[in-house]
Amino acid sequence: METTLRGVGVSHGVAIGEVRHMGTAVLEPPAKQIPAEEAEREQGRARQAVEAVAADLMARGHLAGGEAQAVLEAQALMAQDPELIADVERRIAVGSTAERAVYDAFAAYRDLLAAAGEYFAGRVADLDDVRNRIVARLLGVPMPGVPDSDEPYVLVARDLAPADTALLDPTLVLGFVTEEGGPTSHSAILARALGVPAVVALPGAVELAEGTVIAVDGSTGEIFVNPGEEKKAQLEAAAAERRATLASATGPGATSDGHKVPLLANIGGPADVPAALEAGAEGVGLFRTEFLFLDDNKNAPSEEKQVATYRQVLEAFPEGRVVVRVLDAGADKPLDFLTPADEPNPALGVRGLRTLLEHPEVLRTQLSALAKAAEGLPVYLEVMAPMVADRTDARAFADACRAAGLRAKFGAMVEIPSAALRARSVLQEVEFLSLGTNDLAQYTFAADRQVGAVSRLQDPWQPALLDLVAIAAEAARAEGKSCGVCGEAASDPLLACVLTGLGVTSLSMGAASLPYVRATLAKFTLAQCERAAAAARAADTADEARSAAQAVLSGE
């Protein structure tokens, strides 16, 4: 019987195929004692397994490149955490086997993360994956992961670890569905980068039986279980129409009446540039430089290394716009040489610009490297600070840019509600704003972006979030300055129209989403976008806001 389920659509497209579940997680190793004389051998086994798993994660990251590489390298560092390894060796010294010691040490660390606030709790899935891989190697059993199959399928899992998502083969994995996760989780971001239709936060997803035929609509978040031939035909026709529309939409972003909305790409480094160029990005709206710093968690990259990396990106967009975010360290991106290890709630502590102002030499080196990388190039370089709270923050960043001799526009990210509410004040110090809607939603609703249970509050259609966007955009318009969106909200084609109607002046997203947004914007006038935005803000819930905007744009 055909039934319909609804989760959160995070990557556009339609996939129809049989369900295949992720490989079974490693079972709990038995708690048996070993003789004292075997402890040294077991400690050696544990160290070898840790290093092998870390090397495998690094290799997977190198193959995947881009944002996926940084995520996987962060997991490799997690596997090699000195405190975790020391705890494993202590447990072996008092009689545990290597696999049991790893299991128990990771369990203890897992409990600490889960209790350390929602930001760190969101890393538990990554930690579990690292543990499972180490224990599997020690037990000599297959790694948990993507199933072997010669036929294309839809992958279903409770959650997907970055190591699995990064190397999905889109010729075999038609789409994926997870029970956990949210619209801004690692898996969602990587799915969009791959162009694989995906739905997350679907209650009961893992209960879908192996081999069941399902249809996944990554745009609406709907899952059709055992779809009939008529439903399949409808979905396939809609997908074909969408592909034709995408193919016909080319050139700069604009509404149907010619209102220009530059469409830019979010990137993590040079590896992401080819996809951005292929998708017709008009520049870069968010260059996440922290991925360069994650290569070595204990030391900042040299100025020379930074210059070379930045110049590769700047050279790819001659006479285009490249917006660079300086290092955003802290919270879920800790760095040993920068961020304190004992903060009770890192998400609300020293993060982003606050970290850089406490370590001015790191900021000074990065700004100097950007200045040198841009020398002699016609690119329009813009540099922005993360986690700006008020005018004092904005002034401190602008002063640092000027002191470094940086010839570029200086901007502030709006990720904290105070920056949106006082945007005109912030704009007295900087030349543009860029709305990071992922964190702005997180701080507005006290809802961690990695926790599926609160994904309702992470929905960028929430009217309160749209209100903050409108306030910031209006402030920028009053000051004659620009206000873009670089959060994942920009990748939703319908929401892109609403953001345009709210007064946002540019949209930046993963490369795979650019054609969808370009094609949708081209269908509507600016006035239609403004009416859709007003209707969405008048709603009380995210679902009502989405429906209201859809009704306006469809002429209902």
**Contacts of 84 by beta carbon, 8 Å cutoff, 6+ apart:** 105, 106, 109
Distance CA 361, CA 320 (A): 29
Q: Secondary structure of 508-541 in the HEC alphabet?
A: EECHHHHHHHHHHHCCCCHHHHHHHHHHHHCCCC
Q: How is the beta sheet containing 213-217 ordered, strand by strand?
A: 3-6, 222-225, 213-217, 14-21, 153-157, 173-178, 198-200, 8-11
Catalytic option among 12, 186, 497, 529: 186
| Encoded tokens for 243 | 């592909």
Catalytic option among 359, 401, 483, 486: 486
Contact between 224 and 2 under an 8 Å Cβ cutoff? The reply is: yes
Burial class (CB within 10 angstroms; exposed 0-12, middle 13-18, buried 19+) of 140: exposed
Contact between 320 and 303 under an 8 Å Cβ cutoff? The reply is: no
**CA distances (Å), 88 to each of 75, 93, 407, 456, 497, in order?**
18, 9, 51, 38, 53
483 is catalytic: no
Burial class (CB within 10 angstroms; exposed 0-12, middle 13-18, buried 19+) of 523: middle
* Residue of 13, 62, 15, 61 whose CA lies nearest to 173: 15
* Chain centre distance of CA 369: 25
Helix, strand, or coil (residue 448): coil
DSSP string, 456-498: GGG-TT-HHHHHHHHHHHHHHHHTT-EEEE-SGGGGSHHHHHH
- The answer for 501, left when phi > 0, alpha when psi is -120 to 50, beta otherwise, is alpha
Helices 514-521 and 493-502, axial angle in degrees (round to 10):
60
- 323 strand-pairing partners: 382
Distance CA 408, CA 310 (A): 14
Helix, strand, or coil (residue 294): coil
* Residue of 166, 109, 102 whose CA lies nearest to 134: 102
359 is catalytic: no
Distance CA 180, CA 129 (A): 14
Catalytic annotation, residues:
186, 486
